[in-house]
Structure 1
Amino acid sequence: MSIHPFGRLPDGRAVREIRLANAAGATASVITFGAAIRDLVVPLGGGMGRVVLGFQALDGYLDNRRYLGVTAGRHASRIGEGRLVLDGTVHQLSRNDGRHHLHGGATGFSRRLWDIVEASESAVTLGLVSPDGEDGYPGRLDVRCTYRLEEPASLSVEMTATTDAPTIVSLAHHSYFTLTPGASIHGHRLQIPASRYVPFGPDLVPTGDLAPVGGTPYDFRTLRPIGGPDPSFRYDCCLVLDREGERLRPAARLEPPDGSLRLEVATTEPCLVLYDGAGLGGDWPSVDGSRLFAHAGLCLEPMRYPDSPNQPEFPQAVLRPGEIYRQLTAYEFIEP
């Protein structure tokens, strides 16, 4: 493990990069701005392969409209009209996606500078205090995010939070994955054990229903190519995983066209948001100096239900004093 400068924010505060490694040779780069994974390299075919998208410099993360690698919160995905009613009290959250609240709002955890709480050769824990009223949320929230490089090539992401007043919490890791850097992810094959999905309206806010995936483009119950029903189709959908309880369970399997590597995702969360990177662009150079492009990577974001405060039929994401929010997700890379 080593810690390096990674630039300064406009107010002069220093951003740091933590570089992790394990015995098998896998490496990860984490930056304190947004608690973001900047780089992840795993053993592949006798060499090494980069499997996430990241920016070369801090400027990309200051702009970061597509949330590359960050920790999204206090509530990931959208909350319609930024409206939160909790225990009879109405809270107006910041609106940063038209009329709606997205990934924690105008500030959000993805645009906060986190502290290094603890670090070892293959793991780092970052911490953040979100004050009462930040982005409109009630309650002071104390958050921890731990990244661990497990042997031989697995990244685990553990997030915890406690509060001093009732609030809502649904965090999400927002890396863009690719197993064939430089090529569209539409050639990848994907499997997600989900029999239902959350239909979205035209503004990507849930309609309040849960629908079967059968006969829709959202049916990934068997391994198949990601490409949609036509070239213009975009995936930005929430799939409800087939699971019981809150233990770590399989959530996705991703393979490149040549089958040289596969990614297996397991999570404690009930939902997985699939975003195919349609909005990615080349405003800022990536880690290797190249420019990003549409569908250069995809997101597999474990989280609670989107817009849960406004959808009474969905399980709620309320956290109260004395309780501990916890999410665990593992991204494991396996050579055949």
Structure 2
Amino acid sequence: MKLNKLCVISCAVLVTTAIVTALSAAQPAITMTAFGALPDGRAAQLYTLTNSQGAQVAITNYGGIVVRIVVPDRGGSMADIALGYENAGKYAAGSPYFGALIGRYGNRIAHGRFTLDGKTYKLATNNDPGGIPCTLHGGNVGFDKVLWSATPLMEKDAAGLRLHYVSTDGEEGFPGNLDVTVTYWFNNANELRLEYSATTDKATPVNLTNHSYFNLAGEGGDTILSHILTLNASKYTPVDKGLIPTGEIVPVAGTPFDFTTPHAIGERIDAANEQLMFGNGYDHNFVVDRDSPKRSGDLVKAAEVYEPMTGRAMEILTQEPGIQFYCGNFLDGSNIGKSNKPYTYRTAFALETQHFPDSPNRPNFPNTILRPGQRYETVTIYRFSAR
């Protein structure tokens, strides 16, 4: 997909509740609609990107949340495969990060602290698995809970949305003013492309990702245990009972974590394995394999998921060194989704492209420190198909 010669649609044009911008009926379109009010009274918007096939991705500027992903099955029937809510108020009231844009630091930082250039920083601690406190997904008010400025974009074969936010020095305990831009593109090949970019005026950890929950048979449906998963990862990072990496990077061979060949998610999920016990199932970071001469910045295929009943498939390509596989172990039916059905135990999975959890405290892990004069840039692509 070419990203040059962008036609930026002025937000001033978006004055009605729903505006479709398209070059013709056979090309992508953007629709903006009201998405409800936040607790402080501010209004959120929903931007629906529709491609020439009629497939859709809907994103709200509240939290950069992917609200809907509507793609066809093998017979051409469309269904929404992403968990979420029907308005911004419900996300603000409480969500296990459904579809959220995550930052400043995706995943966990042990004990809510790290030392950088001789100074120790104390972060908000908002998670305590195993009774061990940590910072999860940016803290109490991460990027998933802020209102981003939004600019719709249009290309010949793709509709897009550019989101911008400045995280101020000291926000949630992190140093530096972090200027962040995230751009979503949805093209005619049913590819959702996420482009992340950031700069800072002080050294700070940065690890941005998206936390969409998927059920390729349709959100609000049965468990995802029959989905077939392949991970391009011959190693993973084991965790302690607080779900913090131990610092080891170990082979998956001979363990229930070996998805280098296709396996049903539920095939070994209840095996007698300490790591599965800690996560109540899979909730682990896998190290993406990169064949030489693949460089760390090259896009490589990290994962593929196939749902046999509908034929829907999803591939994930990324520049990131890791991918977190989580299989909805903490969904308990208390979240009622868009289909007015409860999201219950293991009815969705997440595959979050990322740097490794707790990297600021693990010098042997890939570096996550962004410094002044540098630019953080990374790309992840979700490619949807059916067979």
Relative to the length of structure 2, the TM-score reads: 0.84
Q: CA RMSD in A?
A: 1.5
Structure 2 runs not aligned, ≥5 long: 1-29, 272-276
1:147 match: 184
1:264 and 2:315 equivalent?
Answer: yes
1:226 match: 265
Q: Distance in 2 between matches of 1:155 and 1:253?
A: 14
Aligned counterpart for 1:127 among listed residues 160, 164, 170: 164
2:252 match: 213
Relative to the length of structure 1, the TM-score reads: 0.96
Q: Distance in 2 between matches of 1:90 and 1:46?
A: 54
1:107 match: 141
Q: Distance in 2 between matches of 1:314 and 1:39?
A: 34
Q: Secondary structure at the match of 1:145?
A: strand
CA apart distance, 1:229:
4.2
1:185 and 2:236 equivalent?
Answer: no
Highest Rg: 1 or 2? 2
Q: Secondary structure at the match of 1:187?
A: coil
1:13 and 2:42 equivalent?
Answer: yes
Letter in 2 for 1:304: H
Aligned counterpart for 2:298 among listed residues 212, 233, 247: 247
Q: Secondary structure at the match of 2:225?
A: helix
Q: Distance in 2 between matches of 1:296 and 1:321?
A: 42
Q: Distance in 2 between matches of 1:31 and 1:79?
A: 27
Residue-by-residue CA offset, 1:261-311 (whole Å, 9 max, x unaligned) = 211110000000000011123334322222211111100000011100111
1:309 and 2:356 equivalent?
Answer: no
Query: What is the count of residue pairs matched by the alignment?
Result: 336
2:13 match: none
Letter in 2 for 1:114: W
Aligned counterpart for 2:85 among listed residues 49, 55, 80: 55
1:136 and 2:173 equivalent?
Answer: yes
Q: Distance in 2 between matches of 1:307 and 1:324?
A: 21
2:15 match: none
Conserved 8 A contact 1:56-1:285: no
Identity %: 38
Q: Mapping of 1:316-335 within 5 angstroms? A: 316-335=367-386
Residue-by-residue CA offset, 1:64-96 (whole Å, 9 max, x unaligned) = 441100011101110001112111111111111
Change beyond 3 A, Cα 1:229–1:292: closer
1:236 and 2:275 equivalent?
Answer: no
CA apart distance, 1:259:
6.1
Q: Structure 1: which 4+ aligned runs deviate by more than 6 Å?
A: none
CA apart distance, 1:238:
0.5
Residue-by-residue CA offset, 1:25-47 (whole Å, 9 max, x unaligned) = 11111011110000010122122
Q: Distance in 1 between matches of 2:151 and 2:110?
A: 34
